[in-house]
Amino acid sequence: KLKKKFGVAELELCMENTGLYNWPLYSVCEELSITAYVINPLHLKRSMGLVRGKNDKIDAERIALHARRFYDTLTPYKLLS
């Protein structure tokens, strides 16, 4: 759906590193040529300061804000062979 709506060239993905759970998404990003950025959870937590509340929607918003704020320092993730 996203590929049809936005086109692959415009799509970038930013996610928190969750270890083993990220691997299926890495594969899809590589297959569709989507640029993926992976953020260290500790770095994300420290950059936000003291915050309250935690659920998937709030986490997604925090990751998006972090990606926008630190976009110039992010490096695209490369899947290892």
Which tens digits make up the pLDDT trace of 39-67?
888 877 777 666 666 777 888 888 888 88
What's the pLDDT at 56?
Answer: 79
* Cα–Cα distance, 42 to 53 (Å, whole number): 16
DSSP 52: -
Q: What percent of the chain has pLDDT over 70?
A: 85
Specify the pTM: 0.73
Q: How many helices (H) and strands (E) does the chain have?
A: 4, 2
Arithmetic mean of pLDDT, 16-26: 88
